[in-house]
Amino acid sequence: METSVTDWLPRQGGQPKMLVVDDQAVNIRLIYDLFKDDCDLFMARDGAKALEQARAIIPDLILLDVMLPDINGYEICEILKRDPATEHVPIIFITANVTEEDEATGFNMGAVDFIRKPINPVITRARVRTHLLLKKQAQALERVALTDALTGLANRRAFEQEYEQAWRQCARENWSIGMVLIDIDFFKRYNDRYGHQGGDDCLRLVAKAMAQVLQRPGDVLARYGGEEFACVLSNTDLQGACHIGELFRQAVESLGLPHLDSTVAKYVTLSVGIASIVPSSDTDEEGRQLLISAADKRLYQAKERGRNQVCS
């Protein structure tokens, strides 16, 4: 009797995530046995399930059978490469019949390799390990490129990418999205008194204190520019965003960093602007900019009202 794929549950851990798409249980079992100790494995036996899984887990690698009962592998690849969430996931096609023309088609669509059926365990392991290593190296380089070197937070570029993804998800789920803009009060005066090294130390300590406030993996705190920070909060209404903004303010205030040239307090403080909205469209770039603008206006209001406060 054919073994049910549902008997093989994904293993959870810090290992690479691999999605295996094949309508033959014997092939899935073979691949499972090859990689069960090296990867968190996810299975699909048709195109619809493959697309659902890929979007849900964002795997590190997809092994994709070309011939499936509903959608063929080339169509699935094309769909995934059009989606910003999955366009960078490497895809290896698995097929029994492959010509040079087929390979050219697959590579043009964005596939990284082909594995021929019947599956050779040695070749399959070697090719999968090679592409997982390449993906890991690419991710490491991307992390460096998207990290603010001084504070270790996401940089402006990373923030824009994460904000767009969060906006799309909130639009699909009909969730609120919260925007928090934060500014260190009188930071130029701080630099003038304590020097740029002192200013850098202040930025690092402020960033660390705010980062410790966030508990959810999807919340993104970034250095937005100079002494300004930004935080995007998925599935968060105005009240929730205000709560986070106030926790940021309190966390930095509790550091007690001396700031003798501040007219607000004798220690470093923050002004915080908050805005929240339920996105009406997942592609609404104007809406994303309006939310930032709304939070920026509230930040300006917090400064006008005396600083060291949250305005929403």
Q: Is the same domain home to 59 and 168?
A: no
Q: Which of 123, 144, 165 is the last residue of a domain?
A: 144
Share the mean pLDDT of the chain: 90
Highest mean pLDDT (candidates 84-98, 106-120, 126-140, 220-234): 220-234
Q: What is the pLDDT of residues 104-152, one digit of tens each?
A: 888 988 899 999 988 899 999 999 999 999 988 888 887 778 899 999 9
- Beta carbons within 8 Å of 250's beta carbon, 6+ residues apart: none
Residue 5 has pLDDT above 60, yes or no: no
Residue 270 CA to residue 292 CA, distance in Å, equals: 18
Domain boundary among 118, 144, 170: 144
CB within 8 A of 112, min separation 6: which ones?
90, 91, 92, 131, 134
Q: Which pLDDT value is given to residue 146? A: 85
* Percentage, residues of the chain above pLDDT 70: 96
Q: How far apart are CA 256 and CA 269, in angstroms?
A: 9
Which range marks the domain in which residue 270 is found? 156-311
Query: Under a CB-based contact definition with an 8 Å cutoff, are residues 227 and 184 in contact?
Result: yes
| Confidence at 8, pLDDT banded by 50, 70, 90 | very low
Could you give the residue numbers annotated as active site?
A: 227
User: Average pLDDT of 247-262?
Assistant: 96
Tell me whether residue 236 is in a domain: yes
pLDDT computed for residue 203 by the predictor: 97
Count how many domains the chain has: 2
Least confident of 1-10, 161-170, 224-233: 1-10
> Using one digit for the tens of pLDDT, what is the confidence trace for 154-180?
999 999 989 998 998 899 899 999 999
pTM of the shown model: 0.66
Rounded Cα distance between 66 and 75, Å, is 9
Q: Is the pLDDT of residue 9 over 50?
A: no
Residue that terminates a domain, selected from 144, 177, 201 = 144
Contacts (Cβ under 8 Å, ≥6 apart) of 296? 181, 273
**Distance (Å, whole) CA 213 – CA 181:** 15
Residue 90 near residue 135, CB atoms below 8 Å: yes
127 and 237 inside one domain: no
